[in-house]
Amino acid sequence: MNQESDFIVVGGGIVGLATAYKLQKAYPNIRITVLEKEGHFAPHQTGNNSGVIHSGIYYKPGSYKAKNCVDGRHQLVAFAKEHLIDHDICGKIIVATDEKEFPFLDLIHQNGIKNEVENIEILGPEQIREIEPHCVGLRGLRVGCTGIIDFKATTNKLAELVQKINPESQALVNHEVLDIKRANETTTVITNKGDFKTKRIIFCGGLQADRLARKDGVKIKEKVVGFRGDYYELTAQGKHKVKHLIYPVPNPAFPFLGVHFTRMTDGEIECGPNAVFTFKREGYGKTDFSWRDTIDALSYKGTWNLLLGNFKFAIDEYRRAFSKKLFLKTLQRMIPSLTMDDIKPGRAGVRAMLLSENGDTRDDFRIEYKENSIHVLNAPSPAATACLAIGDEVVKMAQKHFNL
């Protein structure tokens, strides 16, 4: 194990390893160490999301999200093809079930055009049924370039390639960063498995991004707050009712895409996720609890501003989290024929939201530089899709500030 390297990347999710891979490709001779605190790569947001290759259709034209999602999608699909990662560009439909949703569906369509998302078209009710025979909608939007992928396999492949390009580089699990100490041009990263010395650090900490930034002396007012998303799965008798991906028209007042149907690469069909405040940042059970995380979140006025400003939405999400009947009712808006016997409880994921003091979700990607460090402070969905493009952005920032 090398205790000294040119770069340390903190975080072994897909953004951290895509960044390490892009940096290693650009500079094959530098030594990179990736540090992941859990026992495997992609343990949190990467390994517990919907597994969707997003098109870029939702995001504000000109935003980092829009630019990097479209670019990242093309790169990700090419990467999957080259390295035989399970994926399928199966397409999806966004379904309006109420005329009030038409303006928002039209806005999404226009965003897609402006963001140069290919293979999109407006659908009528009959066209929706041709694609998804059990789905009922008044109007739809087909997004043919959306797909599904195995993000865990992608992350593991990235880790493998970093070490293949330069055998002196390493991607380590079970290494939790406890502290950072600076002395002249060398920084010591203190972990539970020993100290590592480096010249430069890139932080891709996801759910722990704000805490790692503060350990590194970065003064940020915002805090990361976690939102758990619960999934159901279609049972054997219900799986035939979904062919591809079916999404609702998202409510523009909230930073979530709504409960949707996703065919996974293993053939299972997932329904979800909802979005509820979690009392443990890395807690995937409905009753998981951490005093530290709870006090941290509830002592922050940004959390209260978000929850109180969206009180009805928050209550409805909590009710649905503990009620299969209410979850089913939401799903029946798009597929009315679903029954209680068609769904069963599935897994859960947690999404990191960087909240400002006024409750703004800071929803665009955010990457900042400080001294010899770069911090990816906010990388919500579609960060997994955009990971290789985000890696490019970080490499450009490193080239600018680190004189590579």
Return the residue matching tokens 């093309």.
74
User: Within a 13 Å sphere around the CA of 341, how many CA atoms are in the beta-carbon half?
Assistant: 2
Q: List the domain boundaries for the chain.
A: 4-46+152-222+363-402, 92-144, 223-243+252-360
If DSSP states are collapsed to H, E and C, what string results for 73-112?
A: HHHHHHHHHHHCCCEECCCEEEEECCHHHHHHHHHHHHHH
Q: Please report the pLDDT score of residue 361 as a whole number.
A: 77
Q: From CA 63, how far away is CA 324, in angstroms rounded?
A: 37
What CATH number belongs to 4-46+152-222+363-402? 3.50.50.60
Helix axes 151-165, 64-83, angle to 10 degrees: 80
Q: Going from the first residue of the chain to its last (404 residues), give the mean pLDDT of each consecutive group of 10, the final group possibly shorter.
A: 93 98 98 98 95 96 95 98 98 97 96 97 98 98 98 98 98 97 90 96 97 93 92 96 96 77 95 92 94 95 89 85 93 97 96 90 84 94 97 96 87
What CATH number belongs to 223-243+252-360? 3.30.9
Q: Please report the pLDDT score of residue 362 as a whole number.
A: 66
Question: pTM for the whole thing?
Answer: 0.96
Q: Please report the pLDDT score of residue 148 as a whole number.
A: 98
Max Cα separation, the chain? Answer: 68
Q: Tell me, what DSSP letter sits at residue 285?
A: S
